[in-house]
Amino acid sequence: MHSLWSDDEASQYSGELGLRVYSSRLLGRESSLVLHGGGNTSVKIQERNLFGEQEDILYIKGSGWDLETIEPRGFSPVRLDHALRLAVLPELADPEMVNQLTTHMLRASAPVPSVETILHACLPYKYVDHTHADSVVTISNTLDGPARIREIYGDLCVVVPYVMPGFGLAQLCAREFERSSSARTIGVVLLNHGILSFGGTARESYERMIGLVSRAEDYLRERGAWDISRSLSVDALVEPLAQAQLRRGISDAAGAPMLLKTCAYDFALGFARHPRVAQISQQGPATPDHVIRTKRVPMLGSDVGSYAETYRRYFSEQAASAKEPKQMLDPAPRVVLDPAFGLAVSGRTAREAGIVKDIYHHTMEIILRAEALGGFQALPAGDIFDVEYWDLEQAKLRKGGKPAMFAGEIALVTGAASGIGKALVESFLARGAAVAGLDINPEIESLHARSDYLGICCDITDERALLRARGNVALHFGGIDMLVLNAGIFAASRRIAELGADEWRRVMSVNLDANLVLMHECHPYLKLAPRGGRVVVIGSKNVPAPGPGAAAYSASKAALNQLARVAALEWGSDRIRVNTLHPNAVFDTGLWTDEVLAARARHYAMTVDEYKTNNVLRTEVTSHDVAELAAEMCGPLFAKTTGAQLPVDGGNERVI
C-alpha cells in the first residue's frame, strides 16, 4: 500500500479540520482500509467559546458519514474534557454514553458522535485514524493471530484483545496503552476489529497508517498468503426464476420485500466451491462492524429446485436456536452462497445490497488469505451475537424510519427512454422501487446512473431479446413485482381502405404481440411478488373512443385492453392485479414537436395553449400525470382494485 498524500491537493484544504477532511478522504479511497461508512478519524482542536475561553474540542467522524466523501460538517465537535471525564467512570451504559456525548457537542445540528469517541479522546495525540484494514483483520482472524500481530509490530503498536466497541473498549484501550506503549509506539491494533494510528499532523497520522498496514500486507506476501486465485473454468449455473424464488424466501423471512442481487463472477464461484466453504463461511464476519450487514450466511445446495425447502428449514432452525427470539427483528440473511451460482446478496434497497456485496467480497478475500496463513478463525459466536443484539444496533433498526412505498420492490417498464415511459421510471424511483427500463433506444442504458436503475436496450418484438432482458432483471434485482406495459407505436394516419397488411402487422407486433409475450413470461415472477404482482397497461383514449385514420393503433390498443381484462380474471387467484390507464393528448412526448403542435392547433383554429387544454377540465395532461397515476395504481390505494380502466385525459366528451 502506498501513500496517496499530495501537497498540491492538501493545499486546497484550510486549517486543521480541513486537513482532517483531506486525510480522511485519502483513507476512504482505499476499499481495503474502510468500506461504506466504516472507520473513524478525529482531530483535537483548541477553539474559543462564546465567553472568550479556550476549549479543547474533539472533532470525530459522525454517524452516517463516509470517509471517502466526508465534509467538515460530517465531524461531530465534542468537548474533550467531558469525554475524558466519562472515560474514568466505573461503568457507563452505551446508550447513556451516546446521550452524554451528543449533549456535549458545540453544534446541535452535528451528527451523532461515533461510539468510539471516548477511545479517540483517550489517545494523547492530535490526529487519530482508525481503519478496518483487510490485511490486519486477516492476520487477527487466524488461529495464532495475536502472536503474529505482535511479531509484525513489536513495540510499534499496542495490541488490545477484542472487546465490543463502546465504553468498555475505550477503557480497555486506555489501560493497555498506558501499560504497554513506548516512545516508538505509533498505533494500536484492536484484535478482530482494526488498527489505529496517530500523529501530530494529519499527514503523519495518515502515513503511519499506510506504513503499518503495509507491514501486514508484506507479512502475508512473504508467507504466500496474499495472492488469491480468481479464475475458474466452470461457468455458473444460474436460473433466474430460482433466484426469484430465493428472493421470495428472504422477503418472507424479513417480513418485507427485499432485493436480491446475484453475483455469479469467478471469484465468488471459486469461494462457494471451496472444499471447506461449509466451515469457513459459517464462523462469522471478518470484523464485528460487518455483523449487521452480512449476518447469517447460509450455504445452499446446487439443486435449484430445493430452494423453498432449504429456506423453510433454515429459517425454522434460526428461530428455534435464537437466544432471544423476540429480539430477532429481521432473521433474513444478507448473503447467500451456492456452488451453482456463487454469491447472492440482499438488501431493502439496491444501495444496501451493493454495500453487502462489497463487504462480503472483502470478507471472502480475508477468509481465503487467513486459510492460506494457517486457518480462518472468527470471533466466538457469543461475541457476534452480542454485537448483533447490541442495544445501539437494535435502536438503529427500530429508528430506521418509514420505508419508501416500494422499498425492496422491482418495476419493469417498457418504452422507458422517453415520454410517458421516462416519466414512469422517475415516478417509480421516487417511490423507492428498483426500476428496469426497456427500450429500443440505446440511450435507455444511461438514462440514470444509480444502483436502483437498470437500463436494457431491447427490441420488444424480438422474443429472445425479451427473455434475456427478463432474466437480467431477475438476476440484477431478484424478480419482477410490477410490470408497466407502456411501449407502443402510432403509425401514420391512414384510413382502412389505404392500410396495408405489413403496416397493420407491424403495429400489432409492438402494441399487442410483444405485450402478450411479456405478460406470459413475467407471470411466474409476478406470482412470487412479496406483496402480490401488479400490471399496469398504458392504453389509449382510442380504446373507448376511436377516431378515423387510426385503425391499426385503435384495434391494437383495444385488443391489449381486452387482454388485460382477461388477465385480471385469470390472475386474481395468483394475487396479481391488472389495471389499465387511458391517456389522451399527452403533448410532452417526442411525437409532439413544436411544429406538429402548431400545425394541429391551426387546423382547429386554436392557439397552441388552447389546443393542449382542449378537454372538459381545460387542463394540460403531461407524461408526469400519467406516470404518477400508474405508480399509485401499484400502491396501497389500489390494493383492492383489478380489471379497472381509468382515463387520464382531462375529460373527453366522446369518452364521457
**Domain stops at, among 398, 424, 447:** 398
CB atoms within 10 A of CB 68: 18
DSSP labels for 315-358? HHHHHHH-SSGGG-S----SEEEETTTEEEEEESSHHHHHHHHH
Closest CA to 254 of 223, 296, 283, 215: 296
Look up residue 602 and give its three cell numbers. 391551426
- Is residue 229 in some structural domain? no
Closest CA to 98 of 87, 114, 79: 114
Non-local CB neighbours of 253 within 8 Å, separated by 6+ positions: 311, 315, 330, 331, 332, 333
pTM, two decimals, is: 0.88
Look up residue 650 and give its three cell numbers. 382531462
Report the CATH number that the domain containing residue 313 is assigned in CATH.
Answer: 3.40.225.10
Residue 298, pLDDT > 70, answer: no
351 and 446 share one domain: no
130-139, 254-263, 319-328, 338-347: range with lowest mean pLDDT: 319-328
Closest CA to 121 of 157, 169, 155, 154: 169
432 and 573 share one domain: yes
Span 614-639, average pLDDT: 96
- Is residue 632 in some structural domain? yes
496 and 557 share one domain: yes
129 and 160 share one domain: yes
Look up residue 382 and give its three cell numbers. 457469543
Q: Which helix (H) or strand (E) holds 585?
A: none
Residues designated catalytic: 553
Span 418-447, average pLDDT: 97
**Domain stops at, among 370, 398, 426:** 398
pLDDT in tens, 461-494: 999 999 999 999 999 999 999 999 999 988 878 8
316 and 381 share one domain: yes
197 and 270 share one domain: no
CB atoms within 10 A of CB 486: 27
- Is residue 405 in some structural domain? no
d(CA 257, CA 217): 40
d(CA 388, CA 233): 38
204 and 264 share one domain: no
262 and 130 share one domain: no
Range(s) of the domain holding residue 182: 7-222
380 and 518 share one domain: no
Q: Quote the pLDDT of residue 589.
A: 82
459 and 574 share one domain: yes
d(CA 636, CA 629): 12
Q: Quote the pLDDT of residue 324.
A: 46
Structural domain total, the chain: 4
Residue type, 411: A
- Is residue 208 in some structural domain? yes
Look up residue 89 and give its three cell numbers. 467512570
- Contact in structure between 472 and 449 (CB atoms under 8 Å): no
Look up residue 123 and give its three cell numbers. 489517545
325 and 440 share one domain: no
Mean pLDDT of the chain: 89
- Is residue 234 in some structural domain? no
- Is residue 231 in some structural domain? no
d(CA 31, CA 38): 10
39 and 137 share one domain: yes
- Is residue 625 in some structural domain? yes
pLDDT in tens, 582-626: 999 999 887 788 887 888 889 889 999 999 999 999 999 999 999
Residue type, 395: A
Report the CATH number that the domain containing residue 580 is assigned in CATH.
Answer: 3.40.50.720
- Is residue 519 in some structural domain? yes
CB atoms within 10 A of CB 129: 32
d(CA 334, CA 328): 14
Q: Quote the pLDDT of residue 305.
A: 44
**Domain stops at, among 377, 398, 419:** 398
